[in-house]
Amino acid sequence: GHLPGVHGRPLRTQQPDQRCGAVQTALSPDRLTSPAPLPFVTTANSSEAKLQAIARSRWNYKIHILYVRHEHKECLDLIEQVLSEFNGMCEYPIYVKALIKRQQGRIQESLQLFQAATALNPHNVANLKQVGRSLYLLGKHKAAVDVYDEAQRVSTTEDWEIWHNKGLCHMYLKQYDASMECFRSANDVQRHDTTYRQMGKVFTLQERYQEAIDVYLEALEFSPDNPELLTTVGLLYLRMGENYRAFEYLNNSLSVDPRDEKTILATGSIIQDHNDMDGALIKYRVAAVKTPNSAQLWNNVGMCFFGKRKYIASIACLKRALYLDPFEWIIAYNLGLVHLTTGQCASAFHFFSSSINLKPDFAAAYMYLAVTLARLDDFENARAAYDRAAEIDGGADFTIRLNYAITLHNGGDVERSREQFAEFESAWLAADEESRAADPDVETQAETLRRALGV
């Protein structure tokens, strides 16, 4: 019952913004120093118009230098001075001011500034892309798609960034087919690791794991040493239950980046699955240096100590994990297991109840809640919990039937106990050898109950 790590770090990409392909640096001054005639030029004298354009753009180089140096305060002061001089009719200073406001987290203000820059020069695709980006960040995905469509109409060339960002908007709108079309068009323009990752994410959201893996493997043909892609493939194989292939890709990722905490966490979880608790703890010790506040890490460490029967250390680690992420259902579930094992049934009841509230469709939580209630002599509610567990599971987990039969026998309901034991035997015969060998105590308890029931 532990959590492999699932997050990644930004991918290597050729675009300035690794996540979404948005432009994060200011346009070079020469891109905007000589714009097309703008609406505010009312004079008929073309030479005077040129002089005004030169005057408006004479500080662009200085604004650009201050921006790329991250000297934002001085940059904003200069921008305000220029805008005041020309009554706010300068495109490039407004554009850079909008970029700075976005970096400061003032997204709505940056959107208004980008819209103002677009009003001054509606044929500049960079302005439209930034308007779309701001709308995307504000969660207005449908409006962002409309802006990107307009940007494509204005643009004279195919633009990878527009296709990619449109795909992101469609993905968040859950329009997965349209999203995939956009991502494929983006890759037709120019292949990027980040686009492949988003394509894989779309397949993963639809639980089409094998297709997601195929996309990531195609990406690895172009970036064979990308640790993020290697880790993602490993995690998908881990989710599909193919631990050996998962371990192979995770090890390849660690050979490229041996200190990536997410990969170490996932590798440790596989080692932990094979009951090598000491080996897993060595891995987690490395990850803890870089992510000391990871709830998944402390959850896994706690379950390692549980496997080593160091229950006090296990509870301490799990409670730290719960403090870091109080809404993670499996941490509460694991705390319930440890308290049940140590005989603290009231605390176990509390944690199993919390886990069920957070994830009401996990059969094992209902089963262990029923065991806890039976130990608290509440047989009526225990039976209700067992019935709910059996309903969710559908009869695949033979341990639910066995525990139900034992509880019924202990409560004096022998006839129903025999019925549940018959269900257990059917499920036991239908299970594979690996499932039967997972817990040797099952056969011992089943034989003891068989003798008690006389069957």
**Res 45: pLDDT:** 53
The alpha carbon of residue 59 and the mean position of all alpha carbons in its chain are separated, in whole angstroms, by 43
pLDDT at 24: 38
Q: What is the pLDDT of residue 1?
A: 43
Q: How many CB atoms lie within 10 A of CB 65?
A: 14
Q: Which of 39, 13, 26 is nearest to 110 (CA)?
A: 26
Nearest to 372 by CA among 402, 346, 399: 346
Structure confidence at residue 37 (pLDDT): 37
Helices of type H across 138-242:
141-154, 160-172, 176-189, 193-205, 209-222, 227-239
**CA 396 from centroid of its chain's CA atoms:** 30
H/E/C letters for each residue in 368-422? Answer: HHHHHHHHCCCHHHHHHHHHHHHHHHCCCCHHHHHHHHHHHHHCCCHHHHHHHHH
Three-state secondary-structure class, residue 86: coil
Nearest Cα neighbor of 2 from 311, 284, 305, 303 is 303
- How far lies 240's CA from each of 7, 227, 443, in Å? 17, 20, 28
Predicted pLDDT of residue 353: 96
Averages of pLDDT over runs of 10 residues in the chain (455 residues) are 38 36 37 38 56 76 92 92 87 93 93 93 92 94 94 91 95 94 94 93 93 94 90 92 90 89 89 90 90 93 95 96 95 96 95 96 94 93 93 85 90 88 86 78 86 82
The pLDDT value given to residue 35: 37
pLDDT for the residue 261: 84
Hey, what are 252's tokens?
Answer: 């390849």
The whole-number pLDDT of residue 149 equals 94
